Structure 1
Amino acid sequence: MNKKCVVSLCIALWCVTITIGPVFGSEEECDFPAIFNFGDSNSDTGGLASAFPAFLNPPYGDTFFGEPSGRFSDGRLIIDFIGKSEKRLRLTPKEEDFKKALYTFDIGQNDLGQGFFGNMSIQEVNATAPDIVNTFSNNFKNIYNISGGKSFWIHNTGPIGCLPYILENFQSAERDEVGCAKPFNEVAQYFNHVLKQAVAQLRNDFPSASITYVDVYSAKYSLFTHPEKYGFEQPLVACCGYGGKYNYSVGCGGTTTTVNGTQITVGSCRRPFVKVNWDGIHYTEAANKHVFDKISTGAFSHPPRPLKRACYNSY
């Protein structure tokens, strides 16, 4: 791995086994004995929390785990639902599993966010996209060569301009028709364009690999354009937070003093299951489940194949 890599890679591991299920055309479902995930906090199931035990406090994890579980959400992440969609959990991978495993990637938000909060202009952050993606490609090649893996499931980055931590801190940014910060989403879209081109090149470089590009951006953006259709309310407002238009003046789990002088710990909203955003930066379990349901069908993938057939490399 390139130690100077600007792509945040908090490694989360899911090891699963499945039985052969229904046949799609002439192809059977893929048999992944393990899933190895590389990603930032949107897909980190405990790597950062293991390194810094006191990093996450209640009410993280309340919806599903009942306590903080190392996940930046009230419950499960997309990678959790990917793992749950498989059958029989294997706790420890075998050596031969590395070649047969599914390798998932979920990157970009931290890299772009670092630029936005590093006093860089929109144009300057936009210009970093090719370098970020180039580093990703190099890391992909290293993982491919070291692991011998053949199946790769690559998420693009979501609509960062719809997140409360962007909306609260950049209130002068132009808004789109649903209230998201338009210039920030345009940067994410450009990043995704560059990433998709890189994935196409990786397919040329590694013709024996099955590499699926997953348009998570579109799946997530649908939560902001049609929230009521999917049972969500106020998608731009954080569930766990305090103060301001986006409920993000004080972060989730922090402390603040109310008007009457009482100090309170910032907790969860009463109905996280109708909220899209959890803590101003990450999504709720309900939103993560919704996104998984969309992308696992293959409707948001290039080539358009479901997760269960991600081991096939026909393009």
Structure 2
Amino acid sequence: MDSQKHLFILSCLSLLLVLLSGQMEMQVEATRHLNHPSKKLFVFGDSYVDTGNSIKTIFDSWKVPYGITFPGKPVGRFSDGRVLTDFLAKYLGLKSPITHNLWNTNTVPKHDLKYGMNFAYGGTGVFEISSTGPNVTTQINSLIKLIQENVYTPSDITKSIAYVSVAGNDYNYYLKTGGAFLGFPSFPSFIESVIEQTTTNLIHLQSLGFERIVVGALQPLGCLPQATAETSFQSCNSTFNDLVALHNNLLNQSVTKLNQETNDHTTFTILDIFDSFKSVLNHPSSHNIKERLKPCCVGVSSEYKCGSVDYKNLNKVKKYLVCENPESTFFWDQLHPTQAGWNAVYNELEKKDLYQVLY
């Protein structure tokens, strides 16, 4: 009888611990979104985080069928729906920050400033590689101008997170120019220069007072549809991914050094986009992804791309095809994930303690 009572008491204690554990997890979840209520998100970089800064008359992100999943029409996101910025803001308990381009139109209520601002611009990099958009340095200077104009105060910046996306546009430009860009003799030496400039940008943000600066690791470029097309979207390009590994290793060394040298409260962290991409692509079914490498939206031939139309004879003729189920496809076009793809990456990031990266 005593042994039965003992077992009963142990069972009750075990059940109590489980319940308490569940309550603690719920409290942590709630606290995460209530923590730092004045925290803002400032975003810099390229199309992986751009939510509408790119020029409407130039970029495909403003053309149908972009945005068909969310918000139902093209709004400048390089996807069928939400992009990484939207998911990071959601995790922080914020609305996706307004774009700098929209703020410049003077049509945005000032209370929308409380979520931060997005300066990212599709097609840009850390160097001046695009005549249509500002590089990361110029984007940071745009924030400095807003601080000087008292749109944001030093206190706003101190309590906020800066996220920097470097998704490979510099490397695409390097390859297109035959390696002559800036006179670098080899791809590895150019990678070193990209990391050096990225580090300079991170230090620049630190000087503004950000206490948390997050930089994205480079995604597996060899798995993007533009690289896997040569194998009919069956396998990744290992040569490209080896170069990506070099980029990410150098970035990790740089961030580690920055944290060692920091004497104030600034913390630099890396958002591991690479491993999260690979985790999803290696186990797509666990995220309800059925098509892992082939893009959902493609041109009808090599001369066309997603969003292309033929204006001959004053008629708009679609020159692209869209898959039936974007929600089961990882890639949207030749370079960018679908909303479902980004959601899967976000879920992987959460598994790897996203809280430690962002807080």
Match of 1:166 among 188, 209, 227: 227
Secondary structure in 2 aligned to 1:238? coil
> Taking every aligned residue pair, what percent have the same amino acid on both sides?
23
1:289 paired with 2:343, answer yes
Q: What's 2:325 paired with? A: 271
Query: What is the alpha-carbon distance in structure 2 between the residues aligned to residue 289 and residue 53 of structure 1?
Result: 24
Query: What is the alpha-carbon distance in structure 1 between the residues aligned to residue 212 and residue 57 of structure 2?
Result: 29
Superposed displacement of residue 204, structure 1 = 1.6
Superposed displacement of residue 229, structure 1 = 2.6
Query: What is the alpha-carbon distance in structure 2 between the residues aligned to residue 284 and residue 28 of structure 1?
Result: 26
Superposed displacement of residue 249, structure 1 = 6.0
Cα distance, 1:85–1:214 mapped onto 2, change above 3 Å: closer
1:193 paired with 2:249, answer yes
Query: What is the alpha-carbon distance in structure 2 between the residues aligned to residue 74 and residue 280 of structure 1?
Result: 13
Per-residue CA deviations over 1:180-218 (Å, capped at 9, x if unaligned) read: 011011111110111111101111222421222121101
Cα distance, 1:222–1:54 mapped onto 2, change above 3 Å: closer
TM-score (norm 2): 0.67
Match of 1:230 among 262, 270, 287: 287
Superposed displacement of residue 36, structure 1 = 0.4
Match of 1:132 among 194, 199, 214: 194
Q: What's 1:110 paired with? A: 169
Cα distance, 1:164–1:243 mapped onto 2, change above 3 Å: farther
Instruction: Detail structure 1 runs of 4+ shifted over 4 Å in the superposition.
Output: 27-30, 50-55
Q: Any conservation in 2 of the 1:23–1:29 contact (CA below 8 Å)?
A: no
For 1:58, give the aligned amino acid: V
Q: What's 1:253 paired with? A: 307
Cα distance, 1:165–1:79 mapped onto 2, change above 3 Å: same
Secondary structure in 2 aligned to 1:280? coil
What pairs with 1:1-315 in structure 2 (closer than 5 Å)? 22-23=27-28, 30-31=35-36, 33-49=39-55, 52=58, 56-87=62-93, 89=95, 91-93=112-114, 94-95=152-153, 96-120=155-179, 124-145=186-207, 147-168=208-229, 171=230, 179-207=235-263, 208-243=265-300, 250-255=304-309, 263-297=317-351, 299=352, 305-307=353-355, 310-311=358-359
Which segment is superposed worse, 223-232 or 112-121?
Answer: 112-121
Superposed displacement of residue 53, structure 1 = 7.2
Per-residue CA deviations over 1:240-298 (Å, capped at 9, x if unaligned) read: 10357xxx6631011379xxxx953314211000111101110100010111122134x
User: Which one has more relative contact order, counting CA pairs under 8 Å at least 6 apart?
Assistant: 1
Secondary structure in 2 aligned to 1:127? helix
Superposed displacement of residue 30, structure 1 = 4.3
Cα distance, 1:279–1:54 mapped onto 2, change above 3 Å: closer
For 1:136, give the aligned amino acid: T
Runs of 5+ in structure 1 lacking a partner?
A: 1-20, 300-304
Secondary structure in 2 aligned to 1:49? coil
Query: What is the alpha-carbon distance in structure 1 between the residues aligned to residue 209 and residue 294 of structure 2?
Result: 43
CA RMSD of aligned residues (A): 3.1
TM-score (norm 1): 0.76
Secondary structure in 2 aligned to 1:241? strand
Q: Any conservation in 2 of the 1:49–1:55 contact (CA below 8 Å)?
A: no
Indicate the structure with greater helix content: 2
Per-residue CA deviations over 1:90-117 (Å, capped at 9, x if unaligned) read: 5114422111001111104112222223
For 2:193, give the aligned amino acid: D
Quick check: which has more Rg, 1 or 2?
2
Which segment is superposed worse, 46-55 or 155-164?
Answer: 46-55
Runs of 5+ in structure 2 lacking a partner?
A: 1-25, 96-110, 115-151
Q: Any conservation in 2 of the 1:160–1:185 contact (CA below 8 Å)?
A: yes
Cα distance, 1:120–1:53 mapped onto 2, change above 3 Å: closer
For 1:35, give the aligned amino acid: L
Per-residue CA deviations over 1:45-92 (Å, capped at 9, x if unaligned) read: 112236857762010011011111111000001110111223354511
Query: What is the alpha-carbon distance in structure 1 between the residues aligned to residue 93 and residue 212 of structure 2?
Result: 18
Secondary structure in 2 aligned to 1:212? strand
For 1:235, give the aligned amino acid: R
Superposed displacement of residue 133, structure 1 = 0.6
Secondary structure in 2 aligned to 1:229? helix
